Amino acid sequence: MTTDPAADLPFYYGSISRSDAEEYLKLAGMADGLFLLRQCLRSLGGYVLSVVWNVEFHHYSVEKQLIGTYCIAGGKSHCGPAELCEFYSKDPDGLVCTLRKPCLRSPDVPIKAGVFDNLRENMLREYVRQAWNLEGEAMEQAVISQAPQLEKLIATTAHEKMTWYHGKIPRQEGERRLYSGAQPDGKFLIRDREESGTFALSLMYGKTAYHYQILHDKSGKYSMPEGTKFDTVWQLVEYLKMKPDGLVTVLREPCVNNTTKQTPVLPSGRRQRTNGYTPPPGVPLGGSKEVTASPPTERQMLPMDCNEFANPYHDPNDLKKFFINRDQLMIDEVELGSGNFGCVKKGVFKTQKGHTDVAIKVLKSENEKLVKEEMMREAEIMHQLSNPYIVRMLGLCEAESLMLVMEMAAAGPLNKFLSTKKDTVTMENIVGLMHQVSMGMKYLEEKNFVHRDLAARNVLLVNQQFAKISDFGLSKALGADDSYYKARTAGKWPLKWYAPECMNFHKFSSKSDVWSFGITMWEAFSYGGKPYKKMKGPEVISFIANGNRMECPPGCPDRMYALMKDCWTYKHEDRPGFVKVEERMRAFHYSISNKTLPEGTADIAEPLK
Ligand code: ADP
Ligand code: MG
């Protein structure tokens, strides 16, 4: 996993040392303007640009600014490392010369991972584990889909979970804690300073306590007076373990804060779980007492904040309970949607663990056996799936009519949501949602299921940041040795979403779902637009067969349109699968998240030509 926006650049070497950089430049011939890019160890997300001029090396550090832009000290800001290098290839703007010739990394030299890369990734996992009490697959899915948001959150709150962090305590209390127990040199703690909202470091040396203020500059960086600047307090502490940077000694042993030991730290601004969710004993919700010392900053809701993220079956034995008792269900009159099968109603599902809002697909009572069997098949498929980005079935209830009980996706179908909320949904938001859909589809592909009705109308939103795939009415489980499902007869099919092989040979596979994913992307990026305008199904078939494809929706990034077109590769053998599709969605999602872009430059981080 990489969130490094320079990873695509052919002249990027990762975390190599200055002397290694010089070695590569020597090997490449030392021409004037020869350059490469490497990772900076001091700043989270920063780089160093190494350039040759006049048989000498010049190293410029590229800072990542708090709002997500990049700049060389004194120079202009750029939205990514690629743009920055492109700029300096045209204009020296203070450098010794323009960047003329990239020192290309040979294919057998991998990008070198940095110390912070591993640290950062473990940090993400640990954070998700503690903050949302997630494990295993749910934790992995959270980390993959939310990495950019989590990194930002960690940069501002990560210190809160460290053993050496003592929260808001007076200087005297800090001293008392340092003096209690053994007093080795280098024993330290970090505390909030009472008056100013900044941090202080208390440090033991020669049985004496020293106190230092940690500076926090305008750009948000932390440092000791005149020392090296860091993006986070925990990085500063890690650094001070290696270099004293003006202190009496390096930091050695943390003075452990016992008062927070048992308390998982929750991200600031986290909301209480709703829907009557009662936490298991010992798991406090909504921020621990220690953390509230710093005022919670209101942040965007993440998928993990919702009940619908983790599998609701805490007890794996519950999975066997396919049927739900009628008395566990309260059915509302509110209709969420309808179809020819009947309608979907809002309801509440009652268990010992509390009440959960649910959506209930109710079969029309006059319906025939055939329709009933169809719903049973849909339930059987859903029963086998559990992924945060797929609507989970909670069970089936046979009472006044047959009812399929599902997790609630309260914000409704994606196409409707986007067409009514054009002004508030950004392109980055859509990319994040479509990345989640690609993760759900990758899971489906891995489990050997074909959806056969992937469309924006069947992507439901829990909220603006959280999408789930739904409607498994046409879905099929493939046999272990099958790569496609063959329909005997054509039914009421969503032709505009179907790949050529579906129409021509009735063959359905994950590759034909990829085609539908492309159409769904098109719908999303055109804010709920209707694909192929007023064309009729059969017209679309010949339109495609003649080599035509839909145009790029206005404002849709080039890289997203390029992916759509690859999803619409005529031959399914040449079409990418969901592993590839998810990878490309992820790379683009990471490359644009947390950045403020000037209008019209949405498509970024393209390697230099
Ligand atoms: P159909 O097979 O008729 O397309 P769907 O499963 O797509 O049936 O459901 C029809 C509509 O019901 C959806 O478009 C949506 O508005 C609503 N709906 C279905 N499932 C849910 C859910 N889990 N949460 C919220 N609304 C839902
Ligand atoms: Mg539907």
Query: What's the token pair of residue 243?
Result: 């270099």
Res. 241: pLDDT tops 60: yes
Give me the mean pLDDT over the 310-315 stretch: 67
336 is in an annotated binding site: yes
Distance 337 CA to ligand 1 centre (A): 6
Local confidence band at 162 (pLDDT 50, 70, 90 cut-offs): confident
416 lines ligand 1 (CB under 6 A): no
Read off the pLDDT of residues 84-107 as tens digits, 9 standing for 90 and up: 999 999 999 999 999 999 999 998
CB of 337 closer than 6 A to ligand 1?
yes
Model pLDDT for residues 412-455, shown as the tens digit of each residue: 999 999 999 999 999 999 999 999 999 999 999 999 999 999 99
Closest ligand to 492 CA?
Answer: 1
Question: DSSP readout, 437-486?
Answer: HHHHHHHHHHTTEE-S--SGGGEEEEETTEEEE---TT-EEPPTT-S-EE
Phi, psi of 58 (to 5 degrees): -130, 130
Give me the numbers of helices (H) and strands (E) for the chain, helices first please.
Answer: 14, 22
DSSP state of 254: B
- Which residues form the catalytic set? 453
- Check pocket membership of 550 for ligand 1, CB cut-off 6 A: no
Closest CA to 431 of 577, 587, 599, 607: 587
What pLDDT band is residue 68 in, cutting at 50, 70 and 90? Answer: confident
Measured between alpha carbons, how far is 145 from 433 in angstroms, rounded to an integer? 9
pTM: 0.72
Provide mean pLDDT across the span 388-394: 96
Q: What is the pLDDT of residue 242?
A: 77
The pLDDT score that the predictor gives to residue 17 is 83
Burial class (CB in 10 A: 0-12, 13-18, 19+), 254: middle
Identify the residue whose C-alpha is closest to ligand 1 atom 25: 409
At residue 400, does pLDDT exceed 70? yes
Query: What integer pLDDT is reported at residue 60 of this predicted model?
Result: 96
Query: pLDDT tens across 252-304, in order?
Result: 999 999 885 444 444 443 333 333 333 333 333 333 322 222 333 456 789 99
- The atom number, within ligand 1, closest to the CA of 340 reads 3
Average pLDDT (131-149) is: 91
Ligand nearest to the CA of 416: 1
Higher pLDDT, 66 or 123: 123
Max Cα–Cα distance, the chain, nearest Å? 86
Query: Can you give the pLDDT at residue 151?
Result: 81
Q: For the chain, report the end-to-end CA distance as a whole number of angstroms.
A: 25
Is the pLDDT at 561 greater than 60? The verdict is yes
Average pLDDT over residues 12-23: 92
The 3-state DSSP class for residue 354 equals strand
Q: Which pLDDT score is estimated for 319? A: 54
Residue 236 CA to ligand 1 centre (angstroms): 50
Do 203 and 188 meet the contact criterion of CB atoms below 8 Å apart?
yes
Question: What are the tens digits of pLDDT across the range 115-132?
Answer: 556 666 787 888 888 788
Position 233 pLDDT exceeds 50: yes
Q: Can you give the pLDDT at residue 156?
A: 74
The reply to whether 101 sits in an annotated binding site is no
Mean pLDDT of all residues belonging to the chain: 86
Question: Which range has the worst mean pLDDT, 136-145, 223-232, 388-397, 415-424?
Answer: 223-232
Centroid of ligand 1 to alpha carbon of 372 (angstroms): 17
d(CA 401, ligand 2 centre) in Å: 20
All structural domains of the chain = 18-102 (3.30.505.10), 120-159+264-290 (no CATH), 163-240 (3.30.505.10), 316-407 (3.30.200.20), 412-593 (1.10.510.10)
Work out the average pLDDT over 111-117: 73
| CA–CA distance, 453 with 471 (Å, rounded to integer) | 7
- Using CB atoms within 10 Å of the CB of residue 433, give its burial: 0 to 12 exposed, 13 to 18 middle, 19+ buried: buried
Point out the least confidently predicted range of 363-372, 445-454, 526-535.
363-372
% residues pLDDT > 70 (the chain): 86
pLDDT of residue 525 exceeding 50, the answer is yes
Which range has highest mean pLDDT (293-302, 369-378, 593-602)?
A: 369-378
Tell which wins on pLDDT, 489 or 519: 519
Residue 405, Cβ neighbours under 10 Å: how many? 24
Is residue 2 within 8 Å of 31, Cβ to Cβ?
no
- The pLDDT score that the predictor gives to residue 472 is 96
Q: What pLDDT score does 64 carry?
A: 81
Q: Give yes or no for residue 409 CB within 6 A of ligand 1.
A: yes
The confidence score (pLDDT) of residue 285 equals 31
pLDDT of residue 405: 96
